[in-house]
């Protein structure tokens, strides 16, 4: 279990609240270790600031303390994105504390923070994606594995960790669907197309048997030693293979996820379908891809329209 990184001098009641919040994130919300570290680190900073203001009990946290904390961060040069994230963390923490009876009211409901600027992600053009996938045409196990990884990432938009976690029985080849265990241990089914099916067939027939060992278990995608492929290996594959596509941006696996979502929307898929496919908890997260599409439309318009 991840220990909350609170300062040794933190009052006992605040330290207990920080630890309880971490347990909530890990055990009840099923958050990843990276997310837990980020949340608990921000909460520790908030409670340390509160302690310096004389707060000794969670019930003493109020809107003035939250605002004072953010104002101090702003005065030390924190970026808007940092302020937005830490304000969001404060709201999550106070909502949890209120539900647990540690706070008589939830001051986070009244806390306003600047919206962080979300830069639009780099994505491949459809022809760049096609060149990337068509270029992996070798027949040795490494080429077959690389092609499968690239095809599945682009066809389904799954995360790199979700790809690495796939087992053989997670693939329903009859319906061309993969069962994915996503964030928060939420399961979803994602369809894939004929090119990914061809890559899957080639890997299972001519690639995986060459690398499989007694310890391979049910892992679908393997590394060269026969174990389940590591996310770092997949990232290396994507960067290395994209380097061979002239003019393509240098993207990792998440860039293929962005590209898949953008190309789906540009092809006419509705936003709710793309949300379900990507496993986003809220539609707002998916809406960034509509902004990507509008930017592409604007660029094309300015290049092509005589009165642009």
Active site residues: 159, 183, 254, 257, 280, 289
Cβ neighbours of 100 (radius 10 Å): 13
Q: Both tokens of residue 175?
A: 């319906």
Residue 286: name the closest of 304, 265, 301 by CA. 265
Q: How far is CA 13 from CA 7, 16, 49, 149, in A?
A: 13, 5, 15, 48
Q: How far is CA 40 from the centre of its chain?
A: 18
Residue with tokens 């499968």: 148
Read off the tokens for 81.
């994105």
Q: Tell me the H-state helices in 114-193.
A: 126-134, 141-156, 160-164
Give the helix, strand, coil percentages of the chain, each rounded to 5: 60, 5, 35
Burial status of residue 233 (CB atoms within 10 A of its CB: 0-12, 13-18, 19 or more): middle
- Report which of 273, 223, 282, 234 is spatially closest to residue 256, judged by C-alpha positions: 234
Contact 3, 18 (CB under 8 A): no
Sheet of strand 171-172, all strands in order from the earlier edge strand to the far edge = 171-172, 177-181, 187-191
Rounded CA-CA distance 42/5 in Å is 9
């Amino acid at each position: 279990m991840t220990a909350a990184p609170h300062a040794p001098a933190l009052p006992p009641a605040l330290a207990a609240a920080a630890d309880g919040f971490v347990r909530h994130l890990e055990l009840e919300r099923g958050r990843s270790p990276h997310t837990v570290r980020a949340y608990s680190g921000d909460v520790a900073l908030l409670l340390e600031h509160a302690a310096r203001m004389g707060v000794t009990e969670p019930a003493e946290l109020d809107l003035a303390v939250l605002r004072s904390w953010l104002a101090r961060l702003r005065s030390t040069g924190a970026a808007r994105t940092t302020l937005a994230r830490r304000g969001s963390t404060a709201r999550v923490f106070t909502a949890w504390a209120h539900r647990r009876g540690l706070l008589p009211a939830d001051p986070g409901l009244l806390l306003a923070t600047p919206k962080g600027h979300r830069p639009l992600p780099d994505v491949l053009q459809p022809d760049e994606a096609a060149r990337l996938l068509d270029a992996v045409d070798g027949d040795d196990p490494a080429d077959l594995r690389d092609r499968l990884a690239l095809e599945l990432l682009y066809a389904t938009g799954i995360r790199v960790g979700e790809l690495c976690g796939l087992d053989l029985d997670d693939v329903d080849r009859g319906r061309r669907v993969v069962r994915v265990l996503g964030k928060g241990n939420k399961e979803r089914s994602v369809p894939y197309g004929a090119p990914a099916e061809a890559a899957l067939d080639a890997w299972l027939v001519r690639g995986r048997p060459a690398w499989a060992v007694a310890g391979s278990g049910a892992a679908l995608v393997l590394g060269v030693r026969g174990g389940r492929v590591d996310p770092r290996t997949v990232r290396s594959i994507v960067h290395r293979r994209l380097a061979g596509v002239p003019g393509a941006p240098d993207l990792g696996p998440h860039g293929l996820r962005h590209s898949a979502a953008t190309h789906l929307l540009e092809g006419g898929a509705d936003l709710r379908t793309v949300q379900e496919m990507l496993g986003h908890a809220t539609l707002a997260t998916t809406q960034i891809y509509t902004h990507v599409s509008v930017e592409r439309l604007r660029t094309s318009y300015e290049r092509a329209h005589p009165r642009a």
